[in-house]
Amino acid sequence: MRKKCLLANWKMLGDTQQISTLVEQLIVGISSGAPNSEVVLFPPAPYLRLVAEAIKATSIALGAQTVAEFAPGAYTGEVAAEMLIDVGCRYVLVGHSERRTLFAENDAKISGKFSRAMKLGLIPVLCIGETLKEWQAEETFAVLTRQLTAVFAEANDLKDFIIAYEPVWAIGTGKVASPEHVQSVHRFIRAILTDVFHLEAQKIPIVYGGSVKAQNFAALLAMEDIDGGLIGGASWQAAEFIEMSKMCLI
């Protein structure tokens, strides 16, 4: 059975006070120790240590929102995988659409970040998804194939990672993709994973992101190939996020 993953992407938001309060509420509300579900918080980099300390006696895990593709060295402003591990991260988001569009991260760069994270033992969450224009032009499958194969081209024995399918038109817009649509895309992604990783592909979680809330999450989770969610806006509301975490308990 694949694990269910609930991932909180806090983006470039919050301050010490807000993040401490939110984490305290989540610790109280999220049941610990379910073997087949994983809750991961992705705070902005300056708050990683604070969150790591707060969650250290819980089953909640920590992740960063991006990582450098380089080993430590003269790369002003960047953060190396070694540093993320040092402050307690187990996961890292790679290729979020905001990184791709606002920070010009192309497939080659994303592939470098993915490989470096894996090499150092961080679990990358590879974010992929089509834009509205690509969706309307029925290019979704072609875009996803390109984004996936760019990353797998160099490394076909990689196994411990998560895929997050996030149609760009659904992120922060309130327009959630229908469970049937997401299931058909996830099935397509799983077929690509199967080509590369064979039977191991069955173990790779594929989560959906884009305007997920407690109210629409259960129907998504009920689909065979939807293994959880990458949650932006709704992860700032403790009650919503706690409710979603309960849906992931299996």
Minimum separation from the CB atom of position 8 to ligand PGA (A): 9
Please state, in angstroms and rounded to a whole number, the distance separating the CA atoms of residues 140 and 205.
Answer: 20
Q: Which is nearer to ligand PGA, 185 or 212 (CB)?
A: 212
Element (H, E) at 164: strand 162-165
Active site residue: 38, 69, 96, 105, which one?
96
Residue closer to ligand PGA by CB (options 146, 175) is 175
Contact criterion met (CB below 8 Å) for 41 and 60:
yes
Give the three-class secondary structure for 138: coil
Which residue among 105, 166, 186, 240 is the active-site one? Answer: 166
Residue 96 among the catalytic residues: yes
- Angle value at C-alpha 95, between 245 and 230, nearest 5 degrees: 10
Smallest gap from residue 166 Cβ to ligand PGA (A): 6
For residues 63 and 40, give the distance between their C-alpha atoms in angstroms, rounded to a whole number.
6
C-beta closer to ligand PGA: residue 80 or 114? 114
Chain residues in the site for ligand PGA (CB under 6 A):
9, 166, 171-172, 209-212, 230-234
**How far apart are the C-alpha atoms of 63 and 79, rounded to whole Å?**
13
Question: Whose Cβ is closer to ligand PGA: residue 70's or residue 236's?
Answer: 236
CB of 11 to ligand PGA, least distance (A): 7
d(CA 237, CA 183): 26
In the complex, least distance from residue 176 CB atom to ligand PGA, rounded to whole angstroms: 8
In this complex, which beta carbon is closest to ligand PGA, that of residue 47 or of residue 169?
169
What Cα–Cα distance (Å) separates residue 145 from each residue in 76, 107, 159, 207? 33, 11, 18, 17
Q: Which of 4, 2, 24 is nearest to 221 (CA)?
A: 4
In whole angstroms, the minimum distance from the beta carbon of 66 to ligand PGA comes to 13
- Which DSSP category does 176 fall into? P
186 classed as catalytic? no
> Residues with catalytic annotation?
96, 166
